[in-house]
Chains A and B, each alone.
Chain A
Amino acid sequence: MVVRGAPIRAADAADRDAAVWAAIAEVPDPEIPTISLVELGVVRGFAFGGGPGGEVRLTVELLPTFVGCPAVEVMREQVGDRLRELGVADEVIVELSFAEPWTSDRITPAGREALRRGGFAPPPPTGSTFIGDDLLTVLPVTTCPYCASRNTTLENPFGPTLCRAIYHCADCRQPFEAFKAV
């Protein structure tokens, strides 16, 4: 716990940062609640700073998965609410940033597993889907998240949300969604 106004020792700062990461990790993705925002890789980082009146200000940077993702405002609110609840700063600012592009390679190994458990095939690494001059493509086949079969076909590269494609598994005869490589 940080005593406001007191100089922050390195160990305290590390504890405080760990507490912030842990708090953000409790916030699920609004559209795929089996995965947290940290696992999804949308949290670029955060920094503590001082406001104009000497207050402690926490600024968090989120990278939208898609530019037009309608869930980003919900993410922003939920991260802000959770961190205000944590009480490590007088003011919490959650910013959206394109300083670096969010790519599906930012999803952590735990996040990929969480997607699969939720019935979504995790995205292939983007490197594997670039052909020629950085042209991205949707793989015609992926692994079924339900039965692990590769006997699947791409039904539609566009799905119910911007980040998802639709496949069909010929073995367990289930339609399923895959997170797009982007």
Chain B
Amino acid sequence: MTVQDAASQTALAELLLAMADDEFVLGFWDSEWTGIAPILEEDVAMSSVSQDEIGHAKALYELLASLSGEDADEIAFGRAPAAYRHAALMNHPRIDWAFSIARRYLYETADAVRLESLAGSSYEPLANLVRKMRREETYHLLHFDLWLRRLTEGGPESRDRLIGALRDLWTDAQAVFAPLDGEEALVAGGIMPDRLETLRKRWLDRVVTRFAELGLPPMPAAPAPAPDGRRLHGIDFAWLHGEFTMVAASEAGASW
């Protein structure tokens, strides 16, 4: 199908940008573990996962570029920090291993719920890409579920650090499901089979159940995310933005 009405086109661009920026920004943060993860296997794993995420971002930026007539690299590297649309969960630096694992777990579970739903999108290019991405994301989900268990059962220090990080990130994690401008049009046209708030509840159910299974304490009540959950970024992201645009900015228009 082609997306005809202007409202749906604008909203679809917002959706693609949100997903791409989530993957892109998290891919950059976690690529920082390359060489300094706690064990060699994790150097490899975090690098591989980050490479997957940046690859997913690239495919999503290209899909967006094909709709808008822009250049995918320009979308990825040419925007000012305020124009990025990743969720607040991705605003934080990597901090420590427990923090990075907590964030990955919260993100991977949220992303899995989002992708499960979008695999049924009426917008075929997105549904096709999502079906492919899911096969890869499944490995991430398994890996970070394993780490969640490891840190929970590892000892008082790893458990405390993990719980602290989950609590610190809990509110910002809700923002993966922050409402998008024009969401109603996307749901009406079947481009999004479910509302984001429906997906958030589905995700909460799963995560809360998993935490209970592992004997992790309940998280504080989290209100539904505000519409600006993807618009406010802060100084840590401003620093990362400077890092990941450095090469592109060093010679505008250069071919890679």
Contacts and interface: CB of A to CB of B under 8 A. Distances in A.
Given A64-B132, A67-B52, A158-B47, 20 more contacts: A67-B129, A68-B51, A68-B55, A98-B125, A99-B128, A101-B131, A136-B138, A136-B139, A137-B142, A138-B139, A155-B41, A157-B45, A158-B48, A158-B49, A159-B48, A160-B44, A162-B136, A166-B41, A166-B44, A182-B135
Nearest to A64: B132
Contact of A67 (B47, B132, B139): B132
- Interface hub of A67, A98, A138, A180 (most chain B Cβ within 10 A): A67
Contacts of B142: 135-138, 157
B148 interface: no
B139 to A, nearest CB: 6
Given A102-B132, A156-B45, A67 B59 contact: yes
30 contacts: A66-B55, A67-B55, A67-B56, A67-B59, A67-B132, A68-B55, A68-B58, A69-B55, A70-B55, A98-B125, A98-B128, A98-B129, A101-B135, A103-B135, A136-B138, A136-B139, A137-B142, A138-B142, A155-B41, A156-B45, A157-B45, A157-B142, A158-B139, A159-B44, A162-B51, A162-B52, A162-B136, A166-B44, A180-B139, A182-B136
B199 interface: no
**Size category of the binding interface on chain A:** 20 to 34
A157 B140 CA distance: 10
Interface in B92-132: 125, 128-129, 131-132
A100 interface: yes
A180 B135 CA distance: 11
Interface string B133-146: 10110110011000
Specify the main secondary structure of chain A where it touches its partner: loop
Contacts of A66: 52, 55, 136
B178 interface: no
B44 A158 contact: yes
Contacts of B128: 98-101
A102 B131 CA distance: 10
A89 B255 CA distance: 28
A136 B135 contact: yes
A135 B58 CA distance: 25
